[in-house]
Amino acid sequence: MKIMYFIVMLKIFFISNSIAQIKEAFAYFANIGGRYAYEAKFDKNNDIEHLIKVNDFKQLKSSNDCFNINVFDKKGKIYKFMVKKNLKVFCNN
């Protein structure tokens, strides 16, 4: 019975932690504007858990598919994610 209870609890734990979803969002770069899209894995609070890709449509801010933290709006989710992860540059894989 204890083993069955343990298995059920593990399943509940893994299901509740897999609520995060991957989706695409749109935003604007800091200062000059310029729209971009990004794909990320979001948690249940809609905060970025894992940044997958940034698409700079007109290549306004990307350099070799890499983005400096300063090009993102300080109030935006990507900037907050990069500060939290202590990243100064994000590069698409």
Residue 78 lies in a domain: yes
Q: Which range marks the domain in which residue 31 is found? A: 20-91
Residue 6 lies in a domain: no
Residue 12 lies in a domain: no
Residue 9 lies in a domain: no
Residue 32 lies in a domain: yes
Residue 8 lies in a domain: no
Element (H, E) at 5: helix 2-17
Please tell me whether residue 36 adopts helix, strand or coil conformation: strand
32-89 pLDDT, tens digit each: 778 899 999 998 888 999 999 999 888 888 878 899 999 999 999 999 999 999 999 9
* pLDDT value of position 64: 85
If one counts the domains in the chain, the total is: 1
